[in-house]
Amino acid sequence: MTYTPMLIVHIAGGMIAVLTGFTALVVRKGSWLHRRTGDVFTIAMLFMAAAGAYIALRKSQPFNVFAGTLTFYLVATAALVVMRKPKQNGRLELLFMLVALAAGITALVFALQSHDKGSVIGYSVFAAIALLSAAGDIRMLLRGGVAGVQRLVRHLWRMGFALFVAAGSFFLGTAGDPVMRKSGLRATIFTKEVRATHLPQVPVLIIVILTIFWLIRVRFPNALRKVQHRHPIEPLAQ
């Protein structure tokens, strides 16, 4: 197996993204550590996604081109929403909306033309995510930006989904990353016996759970306070 420079960038970016993304997910939101690890995660993910899309394009793998493009789009728009001031938009938001719309429509066309059930499902999933994301972008642009809870939710779910992609690539290997599967690279950091225990799936599941937790906590901030008020934690007896 030949490790080309772009494949090395793809793998290295994914590894760095997993470490920094997981850290950003578990530390206190808005803290210095959260911001710094989030910055590194964003850069690593953009490199990983761009390299993956480039590899796929060179190998004429449209499915993987969609995967890389969609991941790049999600990370970029998630970063933009916190870089901008509340209720602020720019030309980049419009550009990325057009990218998501074009990717979604193209993926839908591929799904309708494909005769393979697996490909139809894969393209349909990409089309749904891209088109729904584009619809969210259009809504944001028409409203002149987002603020408050909507701003945080937009950032969280897009970064969380991108981290899910990176974690699937690293821990699940050939099952989690179409680019690596097509390139012939396997997840050699885990033996066959370890993979049989399904332990590599645990970090991916944790990321999904934590992302959902933070989305609920941000979207419904008063719900947790009401639960704690109704069921206060009693101090330990001295």
pLDDT per residue as tens digits for the range 28-63: 877 889 999 999 999 999 999 999 899 989 888 888
Q: Judge if 82 and 2 occupy the same domain.
A: yes
> What's the pLDDT tens digit per position in 124-167?
988 999 999 999 999 999 999 899 999 999 999 999 998 888 88
Q: Which of 144, 167, 187 is the endpoint of a domain?
A: 144
Q: Judge if 60 and 164 occupy the same domain.
A: yes
Domain assignment present for residue 236? The answer is: no
Token readout for 152 is 């945080």
Single pTM value for the model: 0.83
183 pLDDT band, cuts 50/70/90, is: very low
Q: In terms of residue numbers, what domain contains 36? A: 1-86+149-220
Query: 26: exposed, middle or buried (C-beta count within 10 Å: 0-12, 13-18, 19+)?
Result: middle
What is the spatial distance between Cα 200 and Cα 70, in angstroms, rounded to a whole number?
A: 24
Q: Judge if 138 and 189 occupy the same domain.
A: no
Residue 62: closest CA among 184, 180, 169, 179:
179
Domain assignment present for residue 127? The answer is: yes
78 pLDDT band, cuts 50/70/90, is: very high
For 58, the 3-state DSSP assignment is helix
pLDDT at 174 over 60: no
Higher pLDDT, 196 or 87: 87
Domain assignment present for residue 46? The answer is: yes
**Helix, strand, coil: what percent of the chain each, to 5?**
80, 0, 20
Considering its fold, how many domains does the chain have in total? 2
> What's the pLDDT tens digit per position in 210-233?
999 989 988 887 765 555 555 454
Domain assignment present for residue 41? The answer is: yes
Residue 49 one-letter amino acid:
A
Residue 149 one-letter amino acid:
V
Q: Judge if 131 and 158 occupy the same domain.
A: no
Q: Judge if 72 and 4 occupy the same domain.
A: yes
Q: Judge if 3 and 103 occupy the same domain.
A: no
Q: Judge if 94 and 131 occupy the same domain.
A: yes
Domain assignment present for residue 232? The answer is: no
Q: Judge if 181 and 205 occupy the same domain.
A: yes
Q: Judge if 78 and 14 occupy the same domain.
A: yes
Residues in the chain: 238
What is the spatial distance between Cα 133 and Cα 76, in angstroms, rounded to a whole number?
A: 12
Contact 51, 16 (CB under 8 A): no
